[in-house]
Amino acid sequence: MIDTKRDRAAELLLEAQCEHRRMAALPDDCRPRDEAEAYAVQDQFVDLMMAHYGGGIVGYKAGCTNVTAQRQLGLSSPFAGPLLSAFVLTSPATISSGDGFMRMIEAEIGFRLGKDLSDTGTPYVAATVRPALTSIFGAIEVVDSRYDDWTTAGALQLVADNVCTGFWVYGDESTDIDAIELANHPVQVRRNGVAAEQGSSANVLDNPLNVVAWLANHLISRGNCLRSGQLITTGTMIAVNGAEKGDNVVADFGPLGLVEVTFT
């Protein structure tokens, strides 16, 4: 896809975001045809978002780390996109119901990096990324999409749309990573005080550390890398759960504490 097509696709996504007007799909003449084109559109869309809203990239999110979700979208692996500072909040957070198209809730485990995960010539695995992580925390991602129906848009269009970027809220950071049973750490999500969804870290590639390794390898394959100080979120531990205007959503991560979002 030549740059003019990439640029047009990214501009249409930004228009949909800024004008609060969804689209059925990117037009055929600028819709990405493969993964490389989809990530090229994502890169340009992210640049336009930062130019419009200010701020920069503070980390990365991995999505579709649940095998069931991958099958639903016809994927064989996760996908990824940058976390933008303009949409990253600390808990407890308040988000205007008009600041997006939808309020789909994901409960996730995140990490902060203490050193770069650059290209060493050997693919990263869970054991080799663990020493680079300095803190762990719970998070809520508020999934959003510029398409009328994100469930049928297809993986390539979702990648172009910065993998359904919306708001991302994270809780208090703990440096005691080894105290958390990452292979099976539970979360309970409550909406307006009523239990809504529960899940486990086992739902994200069996262990969030596997997601960090995948993300490190993915970025290296694109000529980039995870860097010290950046934040990482590893995908939803629960079934995607919708919230309504006025709802208060709390994700209870046990020893990692609570993460709270209220939609005004």
For the stretch 190-204, pLDDT in tens is 999 999 999 999 999
Q: Is residue 107 part of a domain?
A: yes
Q: Is residue 38 part of a domain?
A: no
Q: Is residue 222 part of a domain?
A: yes
71: confidence class by pLDDT, cuts 50, 70, 90: confident
Mean local confidence (pLDDT), 256-260: 98
Helix (H, G, I), strand (E, B) or coil at 33: coil
User: Hey, what are 92's tokens?
Assistant: 């407890």
For the chain, the C-alpha Rg in angstroms (whole number) is: 17
Q: Does the pLDDT at position 177 exceed 90?
A: yes
β-strand pairing of 231-236 with 104-113:
antiparallel
3-19 vs 35-53: helix crossing angle, rounded to 10: 50
Q: What is the mean pLDDT of the chain?
A: 94
Note the pLDDT tens digit of each residue in 87-132. Answer: 999 999 999 978 889 899 999 999 999 999 999 999 999 999 999 9
Q: What CATH number is given to the structural domain containing 128?
A: 3.90.850.10
- The whole-number pLDDT of residue 34 equals 94
| Contact (Cβ atoms closer than 8 angstroms) between residue 174 and residue 253 | no
E strands, the chain, are 57-63, 79-84, 88-90, 93-95, 104-113, 133-143, 167-170, 186-191, 194-200, 231-236, 241-242, 248-252, 258-263
Q: Is residue 31 part of a domain?
A: no
Distance separating alpha carbons of residues 221 and 232, to the nearest angstrom: 17
Distance separating alpha carbons of residues 186 and 180, to the nearest angstrom: 10
- The whole-number pLDDT of residue 98 equals 81
Distance separating alpha carbons of residues 214 and 245, to the nearest angstrom: 35
Q: Is 229 left (phi over 0), alpha (psi -120 to 50) or beta?
A: left
Q: Is residue 184 part of a domain?
A: yes
Distance separating alpha carbons of residues 237 and 249, to the nearest angstrom: 15
β-strand pairing of 93-95 with 194-200:
unpaired
How many domains does the chain divide into?
1
Mean local confidence (pLDDT), 147-167: 92
Note the pLDDT tens digit of each residue in 206-221. Answer: 999 999 999 999 999 9
| HSE-CB for 203 with a 13 A CA cutoff | 22
Mean local confidence (pLDDT), 29-51: 97
Q: Is residue 164 part of a domain?
A: yes
User: Hey, what are 149's tokens?
Assistant: 């129906």
165: confidence class by pLDDT, cuts 50, 70, 90: confident
Longest alpha-carbon distance in the chain: 51
Which structural domain, as residue segments, surrounds residue 176?
56-263
224: confidence class by pLDDT, cuts 50, 70, 90: very high
Q: Look at residues 66, 113, 109 and name the one whose alpha carbon lies nearest to residue 225.
A: 113
- The whole-number pLDDT of residue 62 equals 96
DSSP state of 130: G
55: confidence class by pLDDT, cuts 50, 70, 90: very high
The pLDDT > 90 percentage for the chain reads 86
Q: Does the pLDDT at position 1 exceed 70?
A: no
Q: Is residue 5 part of a domain?
A: no
75: confidence class by pLDDT, cuts 50, 70, 90: confident
Q: Is residue 185 part of a domain?
A: yes
